[in-house]
Chains A and B, each alone.
Chain A
Amino acid sequence: MTLHVTSPQFKDNAHRALQDEQLQKAMGNVRQGFIDKRAVVAAKLPEFEALRDSARDIKNHALAHLDLYLEQYESKVTAAGGHVHWARTAEEARGAILDICRRVGARTVTKGKSMISEEIELNTALEAAGIRPVETDLGEYIIQLRGEIPSHIIAPAVHLNATQVESDFRRVHTHLDPARDLSQPVQLLTEARGVLRDRFLAADVGITGANFLIAETGTSVIVTNEGNGDLTQTMPKVHIVIASLEKIVPTLEDVSQILRVLARSATGQEMSVYTTFSTGPRRPQDVDGPEEYHVVILDNGRSSMLGTAFQDMLRCIRCGACMNHCPVYHAVGGHAYGWVYPGPMGAVLSPSLIGVDKAGHLPNASTFCGRCESVCPVRIPLPKLMRHWRDREFERHLQPATLRTGIGSWGFFARRPRLYRLATSVAMRGLALLGRNKGRFTSLPLAGGWTDYRDFPAPQGATFQDQWKSRKAEGRR
């Protein structure tokens, strides 16, 4: 199975996104929705900044002792009657899940929201095996109807407007009254709920992601706002958790610390509506729960980030704040990034997982404004890590030749101050003469990326260093 990756076409994707009026309108909502809400709840909590420090420290500690905590986690899961499956690759993870589904004769699988499922393209694999995957998170459900991938890690359908969703529902839910009113978002929600209720009852297996795996108890934790995760994991006979290995956290206490920054950073809520802890299958005294409990733990390239500068990225708790605050993400939306992880976190993570040769544009398409780092709840230095990718691309000559020669010849002069002064003083006087009447240029050779869209201000004339030197000389005379 080949991955569906369009990251190498990032520029074309971005071009299309910028022409897409519907998308641009939807992205306006991201700008307004998430940012103010986060700012308000963060300001209300005096210890918010200190909590970010401790979230960072907890994750760093867990990563430093990852092997130990994973072993502890496995033994706790096993003790609780569950099974842990280790998957080095996406293929192994799909294989483990398909084996379980086939063994229990699954025909329908309900799914809670999981980015790992997107990463391993699980739905395609299930469908190929004749098993029907049903997404139960509203956003995921919508994009599944449309055959799309999420455009945001916590709000998968954020690129859509309500009218687009309405027309999808009318197209797919043909058993319902065509004359029904769907003009309000809550009506869309109610309709999806109704449709999904039957699916929950029919499901043989429920698959969820995990926000955390707790080593001391063998517990997996999910946070949701719709309660769909609970129904997904308690109704069917079999519950499969799919998570990547860096989701591990040592203790319950650690999780409760991190939860205090997660929802605040993500949606501006103090807590998500549902925070669900699951440990093993149903016990005799339990009122509900699955008969089988499995956890598939995915590596897929992450362990190779350990011990490198990119280890910091493994702290990510997938809150989405970095993309909510990213001007590039606001401009082009999530799909332009060309794979499952968009925005600043994707710009760092995707090259690790699918290769910098494919995802090379992503760490370059950043202004380094630093707003992502300033809101990241676990203080990941995202711009610095993007720059590390640029270093590697430079070393491997993966960047466009024009940039290399540009930086190269500019660097040649900048390293030779005398020559630099000579060359620049001639060039600036020339440019100033040319541009004086208008004060700007409407086109310049080699700078089409600039002048296609905006004017280039003309320089004033003699350079500062030239003028300073003559002033000093006059002063001495």
Chain B
Amino acid sequence: MPLTARPQRPRVGLFVTCLVDLMRPSVGFAAVKLLEDAGCVVEVPRQTCCGQPAFNSGDRDTARALAEQAIAAFSSFDYVVAPSGSCAGQIKAHYPELFAGDPNIARKADALAAKTYELVSFLVDVMGVTEVEARFDGTVTYHDSCSGLRELNVKRQPRQLLATVKGLTLTEMKENEVCCGFGGTFAVKYGEISNSIVEKKTEAISASGAHTVLAGDLGCLMNMAGKLSREGKPIAVRHVAEVLAGMTDEPPIGAPDQRER
């Protein structure tokens, strides 16, 4: 969408995603800050899950029911934004497919798909954000999560904004576009294969020399964090939004909370 076609202060429905909601709310608050700084009015309607686990398990009925729920909750916003390429991809690429045979809902699904974005690409491509006010000292590496990369073309936007974070140096790992082996239920159903894939990923991460690995999807992040900590590799894992928002007080993913309470 051309920058001129959007409202001055768009109303954005934050699709927080079930993983961020349950596991790492701080990512949600980082997303809110980034969106508000970019001039959006952020609202959070009651929500559960986009339905991807059901969709990918062949349970189309549940997937459709959850999609209809999300369509009802989010249709009234100018934009829907998720801090996840995977969930945004589910809405953008797969909701239309789910209702292809049902013209009434299909129209609504298409409309929702058209205004749904992954967080960082929304900031750059729609809101025209070119820099962020944040500081993060050290060397980081960035993993391109699959759905964001291949369904939504998220690649250059996070790098563009990370380049404006003070104190931060980005060093690319090898094979940054290769899957980390998460794959939703795949990680549990085929744990041994998933493990072999994530082992290659953590090898690439540590070879990059970075002390922190970033990505835009909490599923992949939890997978990589879980493997790094099992391997005893002292590399911090964070969602890219936390760094871009300058909200890195919370301990990294999977790290102990050593703050005073």
Binding site for B on A (CB under 8 A): 11, 14-15, 18, 31, 327-328, 330-332, 364-371, 373-374, 384, 387, 389-395, 399-400, 403, 406-408, 410-411, 413-415, 417-418, 420-421, 424, 427-428, 436-440, 442, 447-450, 452-465, 467-468
Contacts and interface: CB of A to CB of B under 8 A. Distances in A.
B181 A415 contact: no
Contact of B197 (A11, A331, A460, A463): A331
B75 to A, nearest CB: 16
A373 B146 CA distance: 12
B14 to A, nearest CB: 9
B46 A403 contact: no
B109 interface: no
Interface in B92-123: 97
Given A364-B190, A414-B18, A414-B48, 9 more contacts: A328-B197, A387-B56, A394-B57, A395-B58, A407-B57, A417-B69, A450-B188, A455-B230, A463-B25
Contacts of B196: 18, 331-332
Given A407-B53, A454-B195, A457-B226, A369 B58 contact: no
A365 B24 contact: no
Contacts of A414: 18, 48-49, 51, 62, 66
Contact of B254 (A366, A389, A439, A450): A439
A449 B187 contact: yes
A328 B223 contact: no
A36 to B, nearest CB: 11
A116 B84 CA distance: 43
Contacts of B200: 327, 330
Contact of B190 (A11, A418, A456): A11
Contacts of B58: 387, 389-395, 399
Contacts of B195: 452-454
Contacts of A415: 48, 62, 65-66, 69
B191 interface: yes
Nearest to B250: A460
B57 A457 contact: no
Interface in B155-208: 175, 177-179, 181-198, 200
Contacts of B21: 424, 463-465
Contacts of A374: 150
Contacts of A31: 175
B25 A460 contact: yes
Contact of A327 (B26, B188, B197, B222): B197
A460 B26 contact: yes
List 10 A-B pairs, minimum CB-CB distance, nearest first.
Answer: A367-B183, A394-B58, A449-B191, A390-B58, A454-B226, A457-B254, A369-B179, A464-B25, A449-B188, A453-B195
B44 to A, nearest CB: 5
A457 B222 contact: yes
B185 to A, nearest CB: 7
B193 A331 contact: yes
A286 B198 CA distance: 58
B16 interface: yes
A264 to B, nearest CB: 19
Contacts of A452: 191-192, 195
Given A367-B146, A450-B226, A437 B62 contact: no
10 contacts: A327-B181, A330-B197, A364-B186, A364-B190, A365-B190, A394-B59, A403-B185, A455-B225, A455-B226, A464-B29
A395 B226 CA distance: 34
Given A392-B58, A454-B230, A464-B25, A447 B192 contact: no
A327 B178 contact: yes
Contacts of B223: 454
Of B48, B53, B194, B197, most A-chain CB atoms within 10 Å: B48
B9 interface: no
Given A407-B53, A454-B195, A370 B147 contact: yes
Nearest to B20: A464
Nearest to B89: A370
A458 B254 contact: yes
A437 to B, nearest CB: 6
Interface in B20-73: 20-26, 28-29, 44, 46-49, 51, 53-60, 62, 65-66, 69
Of B65, B69, B191, B197, most A-chain CB atoms within 10 Å: B191
A365 B193 contact: yes
A384 B93 CA distance: 11
Given A407-B54, A415-B69, A465 B226 contact: no
B2 interface: no
B257 interface: yes
B44 A468 contact: yes
Contacts of A393: 58
Contacts of B126: none
B251 interface: yes
Given A367-B181, A369-B179, A411-B59, A453 B25 contact: no
Nearest to B145: A369
Given A417-B46, A417-B47, A460-B23, A449 B193 contact: no
Contacts of A364: 186, 189-190
Contacts of A403: 57, 185, 189
B179 to A, nearest CB: 4
B188 A447 contact: yes
B151 interface: yes
B253 interface: yes
A468 B230 contact: no
Contacts of A440: 225-226, 229, 254-255
